[in-house]
Structure 1
Amino acid sequence: MNNYLIIGGTKGIGLSLANTLSKSHNVTVVSREKSEELAGDIRHISADVTKEAFEYDGEELDGLVYCPGSINLKPFNRLSIDDFQEDMNINLLGAVKSIQANLNKLKKSSNASIVLFSTVAVAQGMPFHTSVAAAKGAIEGFGKSLAAELAPTVRVNIVAPSVTDTPLAAKILSSDEKKEKSGERHPLKRVGEAADIANLAEFLLSDKSGWITGQVIGVDGGMSTLRML
């Protein structure tokens, strides 16, 4: 039974992952608010990791997943420096603080894994995504560099989803019509579900992915690589 720390695990992808992992492992979730949807045996800690680092209180940590993100879609000329700074704080600097606070305990594990999240917009270049794509692009560079630095002790991988039906995307998927139109933009003709992304994160935490590190892996319905005629 492994020990996993999930930052931001009370909604969407993090919630799906936490509940799945809790069936076989010890799971601690850190977020600002608790969710009634969390499985009963999951420990929840209330904290805002963009303001304060949270250190796991056990002796050894087998995996850390950083889930907080943002979808701040605006034309570039309407974005302020504060918008860019907030996206960096949420997506990158919160992850940096969380990993630094728990790195020594991760190093004590025989197969420690860190999972971070990017977006398909980094590779694709999408309008109105300048702020969030900049922050998530920073996550990709950070994650690959960190993977090189921590190998072979701790593995680090990045998951890059396309739009996923979670509370974070509620504004852009606010109706069935919007979901359908968004789904049609993907070769697999649907938007993602939280479990689609959580399933890969679960794999990247497990021993089955023991020879995978420094990768940015798309879970995006084919959007990043396929062009349909």
Structure 2
Amino acid sequence: MASTLNSKVIVVLGGTGGIGSQLCRDLREAGARLVIAGHHQDKVDHLCRELDAKGFQLDATDAVQVDDCFDFAMRECDRIDGAVNCVGSVFLKPAHRTNPDDYHRVVALNLDTAFFTVRSATSRMQNEGGSIVLVSSAAAQIGLANHESIAAAKAGIIGLTKAAAASYAKRGIRVNCVAPGLVETPASEQITASEKTKQYSLDMHPLGRIGKAEDVASAITWLLDGHNDWVTGQVLGVDGGLGMLKAHT
């Protein structure tokens, strides 16, 4: 079945990261028109040249800059059919070793950026509908040691997803999220660079491997596709079974 994404306008925040850049490539291959937003102008420019996309540099923790990004997309493309927030971070410390500044930074990068994406996207999709996809984590669904701050922020994204899906369903706006396990990207190098911690993580995933950016990008693409327009308010685990299963050792 052919994708419905051809010529659709998709705004991707965090589009230059490991998952975000793979997602942009997948969406472009499906024929989507892209607005790629990221923190580093040089990375945004490079990816936009590769994919013939529009680019926007921003700090996604700033609500005004997120609004400006979506206004830019409307000016350049006349409409917005989909929005994805891939902005986030990896932070692993127990609560007693997490200082308030680190905690607030984790919440800002993960939960605040997701909320600002929903806020800006929905206000510009009111008449035509659309699809919004956020990125949570398996850590929000299963208790993992040393994940207190990131689990709190990612659990907030699940709550945001469900509430926004309920609020905007009658306007034809679908809101879903993916919940990955550990994915091998530049953001997770602090874990995967050590053979000891990498093996520990492998053992936690019942399917016996760490995720790839392609795994998560393909799930997000599926949620954006109009063939799946009866799907909203869902948390799609893309985690090798981590969030729901106990690995056999």
The TM-score by the shorter chain falls in which range?
Answer: over 0.9
- Structure with bigger helix share is 2
Map of 1:29 onto structure 2: 36
Q: Deviation string for 1:147-190 (max 9, x for gaps)?
A: 00000310000100000001110110114564344223211110
CA distance in 2 between partners of 1:168 and 1:48 (Å): 17
- Give the count of matched residue pairs: 228
For normalisation by structure 1, the TM-score amounts to 0.93
Structure 1's unaligned 5+ residue stretches are: none
Map of 2:56 onto structure 1: 45
Map of 1:73 onto structure 2: 92
CA distance in 1 between partners of 2:59 and 2:96 (Å): 30
Percent identity reads: 34
Structure 1 contact 114–205 (Cα < 8 Å) conserved: yes
Map of 1:5 onto structure 2: 11
Aligned runs of 1:195-206 on 2, under 5 Å? 195-206=214-225
Structure 2 contact 25–51 (Cα < 8 Å) conserved: no
Aligned runs of 1:140-155 on 2, under 5 Å? 140-152=158-170, 153-155=172-174
SS at 1:195's partner residue? Answer: helix
Structure 2's unaligned 5+ residue stretches are: 1-6
Closer/same/farther in 2, CA of residues 100 and 228 from structure 1, 3 Å limit: closer
For normalisation by structure 2, the TM-score amounts to 0.86
Regions of 4+ moved over 6 Å: none
Aligned runs of 1:16-165 on 2, under 5 Å? 16-23=22-29, 24-33=31-40, 34-35=42-43, 36-37=46-47, 39-51=50-62, 52-53=65-66, 54-55=69-70, 56-57=73-74, 58-110=77-129, 112-152=130-170, 153-165=172-184
CA distance in 2 between partners of 1:76 and 1:190 (Å): 28
Map of 2:4 onto structure 1: none
